[in-house]
A and B are shown apart, each in its own frame.
Chain A
Amino acid sequence: MSKLVSDTLVIAERNLVRLPRAPDLLLAFTVQPVMFVLLFAYVFGGAIKTPGGSYIDYLIPGIMVQNIAFGGFVTALGLNEDVHKGLIDRFRSLPMARPAVLAGRTLADVVTNTLSIVVLLITGLIIGFTFHASVIEILGGVGLLLLFGYAFSWVFALLGLLVSSPEAANSVGFIAVFPLTFISSAFVPVATMPAVLRAFARVNPFTIVVDAMRALWIGFPARNYVWEAVVWSLVILAVFAPLAVARYRRTAGQ
C-alpha cells in the first residue's frame, strides 16, 4: 500500500514537472477556459434569459463544470503517448504498484484542475460574478468540482488506453463529452429545450453537478443535488477506475 502511495506520487511529480516544459498544454489550462467564459458571457449572455440573477452568475458554475470535465483530457493524451513511446512497457517491467501509473496521472490532474479553477474564478469575479454563499459553501463547491474532475480523469484514462492515437483520443473524447456538457443546464435553462433533449438533460449528471454548484455558490434552490452530484462522481469513479486499471494491465506498447 505504501508502495502504491509512493509510486503514485513519483508519477504525479513526473507529470507536473514536465508541464511547464510543454507550454501548449499550459495554455489549455489557463487561456482556453478564460476564452470560453468571455465568449459565452458577452456573445450569448445578452440573448439568454435565466431565472433570477444575472447570466454571469448562472454561467460561471456551468462553465466551471464543463471545464473540469475536460481537465482529464491531458491524461488521455499523455497515456496514449506513453503507450506509443514505449514508456508504458518500461513502467510495466518495473516493480511498481500496478495502478500507480494511472493514479499518478489522475492525481496530477487534480493539481492542474485546481489551477484552472483559480483562473476561472478570478476571471469570473472580474467580469461581475458574485457569490451568494458562505465560505464553507464556496469551499464545498471547489471540493465538488475537484471530485467530479477526478472521476472524469479516470474516464479519460480508460479512453487514452483504448484508442490508437492521440488524435483519436482527442476526437473521441470531444465527441463523447462535448454534447453531454451542452445538453445540460450548464449554459441555458433546461426548460427552453425541446422535449427529448429536456428529458435527457434532466437526468444528465452534468445538469445535476451544475445545479449542485449553483446551489452551493449562488443559492439556487437545489440542495439535494449536492448529494446526488457527489454520488454520481463516486459512481463514475467506481466504474471507470477499475476498468482503466484492468486495461492498463493488458496494454501493450508498439
Chain B
Amino acid sequence: MASRSPQPSVAAGARGSAGDPAIVVTGLEKSYGEVRALCGVDLSAERGTVLGLLGPNGAGKTTVVRVLTTLLKPDAGTASVVGLDVVRDAAALRQRIGLAGQYAAVDENLTGLENLTMVGRLYGQRRPRAKQRGQQLLDRFDLLDAASRPVKTYSGGMRRRLDLAAALVAKPEVLFLDEPTTGLDPRSRLALWETIEGLVAEGTTVLLTTQYLDEADRLADTIAVIDHGLVIAEGTSDELKDRVGGERLEVRLDDERDADTAVAALAPMSDERPLVEGAVVKLSVRRRQGSIVEAVGRLGEAGVGVDDLALRRPTLDDVFLALTGHAAAEAEEEAA
C-alpha cells in the first residue's frame, strides 16, 4: 500500500495532496466478454480543470467513468484520482469524489431534502449536519421551493439538478459527470453549464463525458477525443481545431454538377482533397489572407458559378471528422 510513498507511515488520506494531478490514467483496458470497451486509455487532468471526454455512443466514455469512480475494476492499466489508486484505495477515494450521471440517480418517492440528507448521512454526516447541507444545496440549485415534494413531481431539469446536488454533498475534490445534459432542453442545459462553471471556479476538478461538441467546446479545458475504446486525440479545443489545419472554406455552387470541376480548381489551395456535400464544396485552406479572392478567381477561370462563399474557424465537428474519417453521428454505421 505504501509502495509509492517515500514515507511508509503516511496514511492513505494524507497522500495525494496538492501538487499531484487530479486524475492520472495509464493503459486502461476493460472488456465485457468479447467486446473490448477500453483498449489502453491514457488520460490526465490537472487540479481545478475540466477534462472533457468526447466521443460517440459506445466509445467507452462511461466505462472510463465507472472505473474512475470505483464501480468497475479494470482488466489492465492503472488509474488514480487525487493520488489514490481506484482499486487499492477505493474506500478512501469514495470519500473524495462525487458522481452524477445521465440517469438522475435519486429516489423518486423521497423528497428533494430527504434524498440529500440520506446521501449526506451515507457520507458519514450526522443528521442535523446532513440536513443543513441539503438545505444549502437546494437553495443553491434553486430547488428550495420543491424541497419537501417527492421527486416524482419534479421536471427532468429539476431531477438532474438534484442529482448534481447529491454528488456535491460531501464537497468532492473531483466531480465525475457522465453526459450531464443528455436529454435536457436547451434552457436547462445552459443553466447546468453555468453551474458546472461555477464549481470549477471554486476549485473543483471535473471530468465530463459528452457526445456534444459544443458542450466540450464550452466547458472543457482539455478535450480527449475517444472512439472505439481509444483516445485518438487530446488537447485544448484550439489545439484540436488547429490540428485539422487552419480555416475552412465553404463554397456553395450554383449547380451541383459543377462539383468535380470546382474540386479540381480549388485543390491547389489545400493540403487535402476538398470534400463535396451536394452543392457545397469544403476545404481547409493554408492561409486566411486572400483566400476568398483566390477562390473566386480560380472558380471564375474554371467557369463555375458560385452561389455563396464563406470562410470560418474549424469547429469540433471538423475535428471529429478529420480524426475519425466520419462525422460523430456516422460512427455507429461505420462500426457495423
**Could you tell me which A residues sit within 8 Å of B by CB distance?**
3, 6-7, 10, 13-14, 17-18, 21-22, 85-87, 89-96, 100, 252-254
Contact = CB atoms under 8 A, between A and B. Distances in A.
A93 B122 contact: no
A94 B105 contact: no
Contacts of A17: 109-110, 114
Contact of B71 (A3, A13, A93, A254): A93
Most buried by A among B66, B107, B110: B107
17 contacts: A3-B124, A7-B122, A17-B110, A18-B107, A18-B110, A85-B108, A87-B105, A87-B106, A90-B166, A91-B122, A92-B70, A93-B69, A93-B71, A93-B94, A95-B91, A96-B122, A100-B122
Interface of B: 66, 69-72, 91, 94-95, 97, 99, 101, 103-110, 114, 118-119, 121-124, 150, 166
A7 B94 CA distance: 15
B107 to A, nearest CB: 6
A82 to B, nearest CB: 8
B103 A86 contact: yes
Contacts of B150: 21
Given A17-B110, A17-B114, A21-B150, A89 B105 contact: yes
Contact of B95 (A7, A85, A95, A252): A95
Given A6-B121, A92-B71, A93-B69, A86 B105 contact: yes
Given A21-B150, A93-B70, A93-B94, A86 B118 contact: no
A106 B91 CA distance: 24
B119 A90 contact: yes
Contacts, number: 66
B101 A89 contact: yes
B99 A93 contact: yes
Given A13-B118, A89-B66, A95-B123, 7 more contacts: A89-B99, A90-B166, A94-B94, A95-B95, A252-B66, A252-B71, A254-B103
A9 B244 CA distance: 56
Contacts of B70: 92-93
Q: What DSSP secondary structure best describes chain A's contact surface?
A: helix
Contacts of A86: 101, 103-105
Given A252-B71, A253-B103, A254-B103, A95 B124 contact: yes
A22 B107 CA distance: 12
Nearest 9 pairs of A and B residues by beta carbon = A18-B109, A86-B103, A86-B105, A90-B105, A95-B94, A93-B99, A21-B109, A95-B95, A93-B69
A94 B69 CA distance: 9
Most buried by B among A86, A96, A254: A86
A14 B71 contact: no
A19 to B, nearest CB: 8
Most buried by B among A10, A89, A94, A253: A94
Contacts of B95: 95
A110 to B, nearest CB: 20
Nearest to B126: A6
A22 B105 contact: no
B5 to A, nearest CB: 21
A55 B40 CA distance: 69
Contacts of B97: 93
Given A7-B122, A18-B107, A90-B166, A252 B72 contact: yes
Nearest to B120: A10
A134 B123 CA distance: 46
A139 to B, nearest CB: 33
A10 B121 contact: yes
B109 A22 contact: yes
Nearest to A3: B124
Nearest to A91: B122
A27 to B, nearest CB: 15
Contacts of A90: 99, 105, 119, 166
A13 B127 CA distance: 12
A86 B114 CA distance: 17
A91 B119 CA distance: 8
Contacts of B105: 85-87, 89-90, 253
B196 to A, nearest CB: 18
A3 B122 CA distance: 9
Nearest to B70: A93
A90 B122 CA distance: 11
A158 B242 CA distance: 53
Contacts of A95: 91, 94-95, 122-124
B71 A89 contact: yes
A13 B110 CA distance: 11
Nearest to A13: B118
A90 B106 CA distance: 8
Given A6-B121, A95-B95, A95-B124, A85 B103 contact: yes
A21 B121 CA distance: 22
Nearest to B115: A14
Contacts of A14: 107, 110, 114, 118
Contacts of B66: 89, 252
A253 B150 CA distance: 23
Contacts of B124: 3, 95
A100 B121 CA distance: 13
A22 B110 CA distance: 11
B118 A10 contact: yes
A22 B95 CA distance: 32
